[in-house]
Homo-oligomer: A and B are copies of this chain.
Amino acid sequence: MIDALLNDREIRRAAEAARPDDDPSETLARVGWSVLIEPGDGVAGALVAELGALEALKFALAGETFGLAEKAIQEGRRRWVPRAQPRAVRDALRGAAEVDARLLLPGDPDWPTALDDLGSHAPTLLWVRGDPSHLVAPHRVSIVGARAATAYGESIAAELAGDLAATGAVIVSGGAYGIDGAAHRAALGAGGTTVAFLAGGVDRAYPVGHQQLFDRVMASGALVSELPCGAAPTKFRFLGRNRLIAALGAATVVVEAGWRSGSLNTAGHASTLARPLGAVPGPVTSAASAGCHRLMREYDAQCVTNAAEVRELMGAEVAQEVFEARPDSDHTRLWDVMSARTPRTPTELAALAGVSVERARSVLGILGLEGKVEQLPTGWARMSAKSRNGGR
């Protein structure tokens, strides 16, 4: 395969198009690996780390052996060789080009080095639709949970993700129905940024019902996968994808999870990676919270009940400062144009402050929660001392 791959002019041109500044052989070797392996293939990872992607690929497909690793590599070959088709590489590059997916490789400025904590199980590349720089944003928190979520769980996921996103954290999740979707949506609703890791190619919406959500995620965040375009999500790939979510977040919070939920797998990865792990409690009568309680009991997950506690979980006081500092400009601009006597609509305030109406609504909501402003019948106003003290 190697020669056919490196010498096929069309494929080579596609590699050059994908990464104009790079050696197309290296690009092709990386993409070559990505079509050979399933997520987290530690033998492939070790081989690439040892020899580099291109030499490792030559070695893997050439049939040579060495030393102690022989057996694992022989087994690896049995997995890899049947997939060694230049066509698969061509399709991956073509599919990515069609949807404008960027190829991110280790060493790139936007490569999230947090994933390198996965060692030989780190991905060999990432396909990204949207802005890859969000993967290296300073504050990232993974919020995951059951597809079969309750209204309670979705509302808490939205509250946490909305608050954290509004204060500058990137919300990382898996794009699934239920908790994941609620977290992504709330982040977007708060004018924040969110990253969705998919278990199949970034060209396929899975679940299909989340196509519109993924469009919005791409527009202001990123849709990411280690699988080539065209790859279907499988159970194994969902589990493999979970390790990326756990590795990218500075902390992972499970909002709702059944006793055997896949979210516990994500939590297990976070725990293995020594990432702080939080779980949201719920009624003991709710099966959808049983996994969260289990995480507290068996995985030493911290009980988290609000965004402040998630920030605490994420650690660093520095982070807290940044959280508080980052949205200041919009908060201040809106506050500056508000009055305690004359309520104004979000549209009026947005125009006065020079922010989008959406952003104005989101900031007003936060200022409202902080008790600094209030919504009156005719619009929003600064909270007066009188209404603060005379309140319920």
For chain A, residues 91 to 143, give those with C-beta under 8 angstroms from any C-beta of chain B. Answer: none
Q: Do A289 and B284 contact each other (CB < 8 Å), given the known contacts A296-B303, A302-B297?
A: no
Does A283 contact B284, Cβ atoms closer than 8 Å?
A: no
Structural contact, A289 and B281, CB atoms closer than 8 A: yes
Q: Among B155, B289, B305, which residue has its beta carbon within 8 angstroms of that of A293?
A: B305
Which of chain A's residues 292-351 have a Cβ closer than 8 Å to chain B? 292-293, 296-297, 302-303, 305-306, 309
Integer count of this chain's copies in the complex: 2
Chain B's closest residue to A309 (CB) is B297
Provide the bound-state CA to CA distance between A281 and B280, in Å: 9
Select which of B282, B290, B303 is within 8 A of A283 by beta carbon: B282
Interface contact B284-A293, CB-CB below 8 Å: no
Q: Contacting A281 at CB < 8 Å: which of B152, B293, B302?
A: B293
A290 CB contact (under 8 Å) in B282, B289, B305? B305
Residue A156, interface by CB 8 Å: yes
Give the residues in chain B near A293, CB-CB below 8 Å: 281, 303, 305
Chain B minimum-CB-distance residue to A255 = B284
19 A–B contacts from the bound complex (CB under 8 Å): A152-B283, A155-B285, A156-B284, A156-B285, A281-B282, A281-B284, A281-B289, A281-B293, A282-B283, A283-B283, A284-B305, A284-B306, A290-B305, A293-B303, A293-B305, A297-B302, A297-B303, A297-B309, A303-B303
